Structure 1
Amino acid sequence: MAEPHANSYYAASATTFTDQPPLEGDAKVDVCVVGGGMTGCSAALHLAERGYKVMLIEANRIGFGASGRSGGQLIAGYAADMHKVEKYVGPEEAQRMWNMSVEAVDLVRERTRRHAIDCDLVDGHLHVGVKPRHCEELQDLAEEWDRYGYDGVRYLDRDAVRERVDSDAYVCGLLDPKGGHLHPLNYTLGLARACLDAGVVIHEDTPMTGWEAGDPATIITSRGRIRANHVILAGNAYLWEKERRLGTSIMPVGTYIVATEPLGENRATKLIPNNEAVADILFVLNYFRRSADHRMLFGGRVSYSRIEPASVGEAMRKTMLKYFPQLDDVKVDYAWGGYVAITANRLPDFGRLAPNVVYAQGFSGHGVALTSLAGKLMAEAVAGQAERFDLLAKIPHMPFPGGTMFRTPALVLAMAWHRLRDML
């Protein structure tokens, strides 16, 4: 039985989407896409536009995973800095990867316009520092982005940040006017509606229970089998238990967000006057933004143990008040969380499990943009134009220490060190 969406502000304000029936019986298609989040819907849409007969199956509901409940922050680049990327692929290919990350941001805007997706898309993103050492890091980041030809970015001192965020906690910032934020569930539902309009067959409440290699490959579900010339695995944090090879390079971790009660336009505007999305650069980071109906959406508190805090709402509210004590009289209307997938090197994991079976996962917090690009690159690979897909697939991914049994406690110990460093 399919699970509902998380009890979130996004689910409460979601646009209408007609439930799609579960698969009953067998089917034959050109491409089967497994996973109904941003990655899967993007891939299915690109493939349908190329003329392929596409079926998308989703274990629960469209946008059930991180695509429907994330912070909604639209950011160029990757969760790892470009120096690390250069070590893996060299400077020339690193430039291509950077350009693709910018293309990812542009692709979200292009899809939103073309398909008239009502997802509250707003321009502007701001990285902020909470410690003096963060200012040097942000200045280095500004120089790095400039070196890669990403113009328009501006370093901000304490006073300039204070004009954009009504908090005394932040000592510097980096403004990216090309970034932005959106309602992630409504964006995902909009992509799914565009898929239906393009002829994609979608089956919700249809989990993959296994698959068999071959030409065609076979996707196995509890109520039918799908034979497909090509398969795209796009389940991210939710598919690795069905295909264990996907679990070697990713770790599902819990993230949490609260939405306050509506603050009113004047009070909300005072908090973030220019309505940018904001994220600090602590290792265990916090991120926040205004909603279209004038709430504060505040997220963070990553759980690497995957044990949910006893009270998500109270824990996140306490963190929010550390930075915005003026919200002490404000109630939290919604509190939710769920899994996202990270990789050890914080770069996305692209690859093949068979010549006709590809996957992309592990976007490590940059999924709003990179998932749409991943869908496009996997569609290119299916069409025989795999050069760009193969570039990202070249990035090596080490398994998390401890294997599938002990990697979670090992990671918790490592993250404890980073949390301590955040406090210094």
Structure 2
Amino acid sequence: MGGPDNYYRACGNPFAAQPPLAGTVRVDLCVIGGGFTGMAAALAAAESGRKVVVLEAETVGYGASGRNGGQLIPGLRWSAGELVETFGLARAQAIYQVAMMAVDRVAARIAKHDIACDFKHGHFEAAWKPSHFAAMARETELLARDFGRLELELVEPADTGRHVSTELYHGGVFDQRGGHFHPLNYVRGLAEAALAAGATIHEGTRVTAIREGRTVEAVTAHGSVIADQLIVAADAWTGDLLPSARGFTVPIMNYNIATAPLGSLADKLIPGDAAIADSRFVLNYFRLSADKRLIFGGGEKYRQSPPSSITEFVRPYMAEVFPRLSRTPIDYGWGGIVSVTMNRLPHLVRRDNIWIAHGFSGHGALLTTLAGELLVEAIDGDGDAFDTLAALPHRRFPGGPFLAKPLASLGLLYYALKDRL
């Protein structure tokens, strides 16, 4: 599901293939995974003067980093109110402040390295129910009063059309600090910058084992990397590499479509060119591409097997939001895996000289860059921000290796039913 039906691959910036690993090399840092987290970590480490090797089983951006909806949503999956209720105001403010660092980190990388990834500002969270809008009003007030988010705009139901032309929603919140981009071009831009800074990338190099000790060794079919420090940035596949990480996430299938170019109609559908996501637990999310296609993600799929037709699976959800697009040609349909944690908060872990970041739970387009950089900062001795996120409480999914996914699917089905009530 990452081949020719993936819109991003069809129009992505060129990136030269990187050779597979051959033989044994010794480095300061080995990074497993060539997505947002891994490439951000490799770039930061190379800039700090470390000798870095990245091992990617497929190609840079092959996984979720090259397949997601491209939505840059500030913050975490938890509301500020939930953070305060769980952790108290002071700790909630500290957690939120670190999460918001991701916004500036991504923008800074795009600007510094001149990454051509169609970066646009603006995100609109649309209220699915009137009760959701009331909750948004309380949340916006809390964020302004206690978290300094004075720039958030509460959009009344009557003004929803300024952001999205549909009768489906009941107002929402516009966040100028959010936005959207071409995710594959972004991760390829990070990779180009990492190469320029001195990092080495090996594509087509699947890690088959990790040997732990005073140094750590990543073993592959045709060689190995011996490193002082290892970062595992494989997201949904982290547990396959490290048994100690198993059970903290489950994979959820994510599907997107891209329509044919819509021309002037595109600007009528989304007048401000913001990214849009609704407030349901199993949400729809959509935006315009640079060539005026609607990129739409949505649908409820609780098994790992893809639908027989991704385009026809997602189309009804798009048509519910925009009935006039019910017969619009769809040029691309693709899918991928996003990993979610039990509490929908990112899971950052250190175990001696092995570092892990995964489970971004739908907020990875921003948080992954931050996570990769925080891992390197912690390795370099500046671990305060890393510690803030690493201290978030996490539990394994119940059911063990055989029942965790089915039980998680039942949980998602429950919340999907609540969306409809």
- Tell me what 1:27 maps to: 25
Where in structure 2 are the equivalents of 1:15-414 lying within 5 Å?
15-86=13-84, 89-146=87-144, 147-264=146-263, 266-352=264-350, 354-414=351-411
Q: Deviations over 1:233-285 (max 9, x none)?
A: 00001232222222221111101000000111x11111101100000010100
Q: Distance in 2 between matches of 1:140 and 1:8?
A: 39
Q: Which moved more, 1:89-98 or 1:283-292?
A: 89-98
Letter in 2 for 1:244: P
Task: Tell me the CA shift for residue 325 of structure 1.
Answer: 0.6
Task: Tell me the CA shift for residue 163 of structure 1.
Answer: 2.4
Q: Deviations over 1:317-337 (max 9, x none)?
A: 111001101112310000011
Q: Which moved more, 1:157-166 or 1:291-300?
A: 157-166
Letter in 2 for 1:27: V
Task: Tell me the CA shift for residue 150 of structure 1.
Answer: 1.4
Structure 2 runs not aligned, ≥5 long? none
Task: Tell me the CA shift for residue 5 of structure 1.
Answer: 4.5
SS in 2 for 1:239: helix
Q: Is the 8 A contact 2:98 2:388 kept in 1?
A: no
Matched, 1:10 2:34: no
Q: Is the 8 A contact 1:283 1:422 kept in 2?
A: yes
Q: Is the 8 A contact 1:6 1:64 kept in 2?
A: no
Q: Distance in 2 between matches of 1:369 and 1:85?
A: 19
Q: Distance in 2 between matches of 1:343 and 1:5?
A: 28
Q: Is the 8 A contact 1:253 1:302 kept in 2?
A: no
Q: Is the 8 A contact 2:316 2:326 kept in 1?
A: no
In structure 2, the CA distance between the partners of 1:138 and 1:6, relative to structure 1 (3 Å rule), is farther
Task: Tell me the CA shift for residue 68 of structure 1.
Answer: 0.5
Letter in 1 for 2:301: S
Q: Is the 8 A contact 1:5 1:61 kept in 2?
A: no
Letter in 2 for 1:181: H
Question: Which residue, 393, 415, 418 being the options, matches 1:421?
Answer: 418
Structure 1 runs not aligned, ≥5 long? none
Q: Is the 8 A contact 2:286 2:294 kept in 1?
A: yes
* Percent identity of equivalent pairs: 41
Q: Deviations over 1:149-188 (max 9, x none)?
A: 1121011112211222111111111010111000000000
Q: Deviations over 1:364-399 (max 9, x none)?
A: 111111001001110011112222212211112111
- TM, length-normalised to structure 1: 0.96
SS in 2 for 1:304: coil
Q: Distance in 1 between matches of 2:346 and 2:313?
A: 29
Q: Is the 8 A contact 2:2 2:62 kept in 1?
A: yes
Q: Which moved more, 1:385-394 or 1:69-78?
A: 385-394
Task: Tell me the CA shift for residue 138 of structure 1.
Answer: 1.3
Q: Once superposed, what is the RMSD of the aligned Cα atoms?
A: 1.4
SS in 1 for 2:299: strand
Letter in 1 for 2:233: A
Q: Distance in 2 between matches of 1:72 and 1:232?
A: 24
Q: Deviations over 1:313-364 (max 9, x none)?
A: 1011111001101112310000011101101101000002x31111100111
- TM, length-normalised to structure 2: 0.97
Task: Tell me the CA shift for residue 227 of structure 1.
Answer: 0.6
Q: Distance in 2 between matches of 1:320 and 1:336?
A: 15
Q: Is the 8 A contact 1:89 1:395 kept in 2?
A: no
Q: Which moved more, 1:92-101 or 1:43-52?
A: 92-101
Q: Deviations over 1:279-330 (max 9, x none)?
A: 0010100000000000001102242332322321101111100110111231
Q: Distance in 2 between matches of 1:233 and 1:242?
A: 8
Q: Is the 8 A contact 2:155 2:172 kept in 1?
A: yes
Kindly tell me the number of residue pairs found equivalent between the two proteins: 420
Letter in 2 for 1:97: I
Letter in 1 for 2:161: R
Task: Tell me the CA shift for residue 142 of structure 1.
Answer: 1.0
Q: Which moved more, 1:397-406 or 1:304-313?
A: 304-313
SS in 1 for 2:241: coil
Q: Is the 8 A contact 2:157 2:169 kept in 1?
A: yes
Q: Deviations over 1:399-423 (max 9, x none)?
A: 1121121012212222222111111
Q: Distance in 2 between matches of 1:357 and 1:88?
A: 29
Q: Distance in 1 between matches of 2:332 and 2:84?
A: 41
